[in-house]
Amino acid sequence: MAFDLLVIGGGIVGAGAARDAAMRGLSACLVEQNDLAYGTSSRSSKLVHGGLRYLEQGEFSLVFEAVSERRVLLEIAPHLVNPLGFIFPVYKDAKFGPFTLNIGMWLYDGLSLFRSPKIHKNLAPRELAEEEPCLQRDGLRGAQLYYDCATNDARLTLETALDAQAHGAEVRTYTKVVGLLRDNNGRVRGVRARGAHGDTDVEIEARVVINATGPWSDDVRAMGDPRPKILRTTKGIHIVVPRDRLPLRHAVVCSHPTDKRVLFALPWGDRAYIGTTDTDYQGDPADVAATRDDVIYLLDCMGKYFPGAKLGPGDVIATWAGLRPLISSEGSASSVSREHEILVDPDGLITIAGGKLTTFRKMAAEVVDRAVAMLRLTGAVPTPLAEAYTARQPLPGAVGWPEDDDAARVEALCRAAAPAIDDDTAELLVATYGTRAVDVARRIQERPELGEALVPGRPERLAQVDFAVEKELAQTVTDVLLRRTQLYYRDLDQGLGAAPRVARRMATLLDWTPEREAAEIAAYEAEVARSRAWKSG
């Protein structure tokens, strides 16, 4: 029996498409060559935002769509999408003065129908000194304080896929597509896929196939039939530093002193991160990494805006690098439109590329609409289809979330379920899992050894490893330390000290051989080495 719809790619758009299709009553299958959110969807700036800078480029429809989707995500994933204040300082050499910027802010708020988390406000230099005391004051003319949202991009993708699964979709990670199946007329009728851990090839048949592989889109389209490329991939890198070295109270919008590119410096718990770059990239998407030039570029910008911090290469804890799968066009990398496109090849393969993390739900709905139209042409679509209520159905961690968005109430439930956990752990669990945090806390109560810290002095607990394996499709040590817990970014040693312990626990849960356990530790060490490769570059 063939699926109605097969989605290649377990990033945010692929997961969204599987969720949308399953809600409509279509039989759907999602395949991903690595872990969910392995590529671009765990390597973004971790923001749900309208894209203020797109106003300058006249992309009003993109901004309107993004701020509208920001409101939806605040409703369906309040534990993962959180309002964040942004300071936009204006200096004497700025491209736009305070008056012009204020007009832009009113337009930004207006496009959101004045439903931003908070309406923007003007800040005089003396007010800005109180709000962000470490910011450069020389030449300061004022600032705007406006609001967008921060998110955990990997977990947003994960919960979207889990909800797709809960609605009937089949989700297969570590399943790499190695070829397209075709009928006698040359039309795509499924894929040939191979398991990442030595499994034999399998054929998965589907009436319609969607290619949502981001930077790998051209590679999938070219399987067995070379085609002109449609992508222009650009690289963006971020660096993580200790919060006490860059004690931000808000996100700060910065303009790089050499090329005037807009960057952000963002608070992130006990850390801060800075990004992003935007440069063309031609290599293998799996090999993308920060270079020394990338890191110095970001640090140079911090030297202008936060001269007292004196940030240097030695302050960098971790880096990450990702690729934007943009539609090919002329001009600088930063000027390429973030609009998405849907392309249907003559063999029926549907490809979706471009777009933004914030608008993934709308992108998913559009590509599933296209798939349904193709199904109707063949008379294969179930009638009638159900409504895809993706804008109203909360993601798993938001089910039962307090209507007043009071996370402290959920934290109290965690402490009641496991009195031994401390406040920092309860806060971390709720920020990570939402209402599902109570399930993790119960595991600690039932088995106290699961309450042991993964890294001494930090709030992450061993119970999270069990939960990742049993409830969240984690199959490798890297899945757990990078995308389920984020110790890769937040621990001063990037989780290297925790890797053997995590591997031992996963070996018990998944019945790994000693060879597999050792290989998993080595694979994680290689991932950390990639993050640090810029130091020797």
Taking the mean position of all CA atoms in its chain, how far away is CA 211?
Answer: 19
Amino acid in position 448: P
Residues of the chain with CATH 3.50.50.60: 3-41+154-230+337-378
Rounded Cα distance, 423 and 368, in Å: 43
Rounded Cα distance, 29 and 3, in Å: 7
Give the CATH superfamily of 3-41+154-230+337-378. FAD/NAD(P)-binding domain (3.50.50.60)
pLDDT mean for each 10 residues of the chain (537 residues) = 93 98 97 97 96 82 92 98 96 83 90 86 92 94 95 98 98 97 94 84 96 96 86 96 97 94 96 96 94 98 96 98 83 57 94 94 97 89 86 98 96 97 97 98 98 97 98 98 98 98 98 98 98 91
Length of the chain as a residue count = 537
Phi/psi of residue 519, nearest 5 degrees: -65, -35
Rounded Cα distance, 385 and 331, in Å: 43
Nearest CA among 295, 317, 302, 321 for reference residue 246: 302
Q: What is the pLDDT of residue 1?
A: 65
Q: What is the pLDDT of residue 329?
A: 56
Q: What is the pLDDT of residue 239?
A: 98
Residues of the chain with CATH 3.30.9.10: 59-151+232-330
Burial of 1 (C-beta count, 10 Å sphere; 0-12/13-18/19+): exposed
Q: What is the pLDDT of residue 337?
A: 56
Q: What is the pLDDT of residue 338?
A: 60
Q: What is the pTM of this model?
A: 0.96
**Bridge partners of residue 148, in order along the sequence:** 84
Q: What is the pLDDT of residue 93?
A: 80
Phi/psi of residue 416, nearest 5 degrees: -70, -35
**Bridge partners of residue 264, in order along the sequence:** 253, 275
Q: What is the pLDDT of residue 76?
A: 98
Specify the DSSP element, H or E, that contains 93: none
Rounded Cα distance, 215 and 237, in Å: 15
**Which residues are CB-contacts of 335 (< 8 A; sequence separation ≥ 6)?**
57
CATH 1.10.8.870 fits 399-536, yes or no: yes
Query: Residue 111: left (phi > 0), alpha (psi -120 to 50), or beta?
Result: alpha
How far from 90 is each of 43, 51, 136, 137, CA to CA, in Å? 29, 18, 11, 10
Residues of the chain with CATH 1.10.8.870: 399-536
**Bridge partners of residue 353, in order along the sequence:** 341
Beta strands in 111-218 (DSSP E): 121-123, 140-151, 170-172, 175-182, 188-195, 201-211
Given a contact cutoff of 8 angstroms between Cβ atoms, the answer to whether 318 and 489 are in contact is yes
Beta strands in 316-442 (DSSP E): 318-327, 340-344, 350-354
Q: Which CATH class is domain 59-151+232-330?
A: alpha beta
